[in-house]
Structure 1
Amino acid sequence: MVRVSLVVAAVLMLTTLIALLAVRQVLVDQMDVQLHAVAARQARSETPDGDQQAPRGATELGNPIGTIIVEQHGSFASARVVSEGALVVPSGDVIADLLNLPDDGEIRTLVLDDFGSYRVISVTRGDGTYVAALPLKQVNQMTMRVLLFMSALTLVAIAVAVMVTRPLVHRSLRPLHRLAETAHQVGQLDLRTGEVALPMRALDTDPGNEVGQVGRAFNQMLDNVESALAARQESETKVRRFVADASHELRNPLASIRGYAELTRRGREALPDQSQFAMQRIESESSRMSSLVEDLLLLARLDSDPNLQPEPVDCVEVVLNAVSDARAAGGGQRWQVDLPSHEVLAMADRHRLVQVVVNLLSNARKHTPAGTVVTASVRSEPGWVLIEVADTGPGIPEAVSGQVFERFARADVARAHSAEPSTGLGLAIVEAVMAAHGGTATVSSRPGDTRFQLRFPAAPAQD
């Protein structure tokens, strides 16, 4: 609308300027006709009676007020100005300026002292020079009045243009606003994982105009995106089902391998050293694989059906017990707690809550050096319970800080300070459990200050 108004203003200003120049030129042309008439009367006239010093034509009827007539013969010059009541003799400077003009019969514009702008013609006839000059005062006044009128008309036209174009522009932009709102709704959707439906579509799809063509193309894009998301979801579902089935099927053979390996402990002393070492490695790796399979099975269950049993759980008690267990597990860290003196109840599945807290403390134990201070704290906010595990370790490299909750994000690429094996699923389980509770798991890290924060829904107040 502003651009349209500026264009209208520019066009009107240009039109005003052209019209003003045209009007002025017409007025000047009319004055030139009068000037020729004055010069013609001067050529036909005789020396006026009663004023032998006055130039010929000065007393002729029809000369406008302000007309200057000059006549020169040799060194003698006479001049008069037509005014109301009597002729006036102009100053010598004015006479000199008029006589200095070329006497070629061309009409020129000249500014005279005390008189202003004049249209002047100078001709030579016989032995004399005859000059006639008409004032441009009326032309200038008329031009100024036209300028003021056209300026006012321009302002009115701009105001009318603004009032008329504003509703028109708003009406024409409504389809674009609706399309932008639809795009904004799509942009707010979380398309990263899970089944995603795109019910919103552009309503303006008339191929006869540009907005309708954009809306139609936008809907085609949404259809393509929706089909791609459905294909992705189907692929993810198949992968999760396979992981769950494979994990379930692997549990029994791994349990058998682990059991047979443990049975060899009874007569393991009779075996050669190499065989004893091999049996120890089989037992250790089978335990690690069993742990990995259990984690994979848990993640698959959390993805498909969390099956949580939420109840009011005292987070203070859970954190205190988990820190005691972590201290007993060793590692050389200095364990601290920052807990309120009263219970803080979260609405959570007790077993899963304990699991995520233990996972965070285990993560700190495995990936920080001895002497690191690890602090577990609990605090409450309106509607939420916050559990935080902070350590003073070296921190998580920035390159992997955004990937710590991804599955199989191995700690040895980040900050490994323990020989204890890691499946790379501990923090992924933390995030999955928190998502199943409707909470969040976040991390912030810099050297000397790494903080994992769990946000659980608070339990309803009990009467």
Structure 2
Amino acid sequence: MTARTRRLTGRFHAPRSLRKQLLAASLLILSGLLILIGTLQYVLMRNFIYSNRAEAMETQIRSVPYEIFNSTGSRRPGGDRRPLLLDAHTTLAIYSQDGSFRDLQDETLSASPAPRMSSEAYNRLLMLPPDKRGGDYQLITAGDGSEHLAVFMNLGRPGAARMLLQMTVETGPLRDVILQQLLIFGALSVAALLAGLLLYLPALRKTLVPLSNMGRSAQIIDAGNLNVRFPEEQGQLEIDQLAQSFNGMLERLEISFKNEREAKEQMRRFAADASHELRTPLTSIYGFLEVLLRGAADNREQLYSALNSMHGEAKRINKLVEDLLLLARMDGAPRLRVKQVLLGELIDDMQPQLQVLAGERQVVFDLACGIRCLVDPDQIRQVLLNLFHNAVQHTDAAKGIIHISLHAGGELGELAELTVKDNGSGISAEHIPYVFDRFYRSDSSRTRKYGGSGLGLSITRSIAEAHQGEVTVSSTPGEGAAFKVSLPCSPD
């Protein structure tokens, strides 16, 4: 029961609907403002009515005939006093400097006696100048507990005893007027709250439509359709900014999921290609071993032929594993042993090795002098060997021509551009975007008959990127291909 009671209490005290919360908060704020306005109105209206009544009483008190101040004055010839025509709730009294207090109830025919203050209060008033500012008043509590509004007039004359004329009126009727005004204000406030409730609900519902649209959009977004976007132009600045923020987050998530899918696909393709590349030589070795076990080992010629073939396949496996390890190191945190190197001298040193690899193919060198880079020499040799070996594989053994050039590039000569160009079969346009992918082979030019594992160009790109450079390719089918490696030069 206790938990259920807490749930019901929480449901009543804390509405979960944003619309209800905004409505409740708005009505509470409006109610507080109306109460504050009503309080200020009461204070200001009370002071205004009392001040106006005091001014009217001051005018009235000045019209009182002087003879009424004498105890024998204001009498008719027959001995009757002439009454003053005042309101039944108005009293008149005289306080003398000697401390005497005379109530003029008989002259005013007031319904109640005049209230009296302390002698100290009257004496303080007697000390004030006679020309007081209009509207000044004091509140006096009578003996019966009723409150009176009092104004005073100083009747002092030079050389005579000073007297103070007091006129009072009960504040009950004045308070009734104020309370009546407050009741009217309260009724109007309640009507305004009800009208605001009826008008505010549709406006609030319309205001929250953009937020509801975002909620509906969020419900249909999942990992399979991250291309859905929140509406950004709904006419509300804050909602539009929130939608833009969410759309930016969705775009980043979409890119992240896309990259993850591509990475998984590349990993899957890489594992399949690596398994295929390893399975081929292993299958070959396994076949040769079966042949030897069936008796071919007794034949010396067949034995040496099988051993030579297995040795070649083992070298191929070893090269594939080394390439895979090198790529793994380059994908992680490559450790480069960099130093200042003159690239032209490095390529010159490799000319004998490249001539041997070229065989009968013609090799043309065009090397600029003085190009200095901060590189790992062994890695740059690997780049050149990979590109040159690729050119050798795809050019005719007798008519092939391979150009190796080194020049300064960039707008300010800040790049070293190493280009390896051949006159081989070239690469089709649809294959160019994928030539640097691992294990990628085009149907026309990169078949297994040319050898290799399909990792040379991938290794070349990884090494170039590790040196803050890049490698690009341009090719025309039937006219050859040109691979260009751009590396940043070192300042002189």
TM-score, normalised relative to structure 1: 0.45
TM-score, normalised relative to structure 2: 0.43
Larger Rg: 2
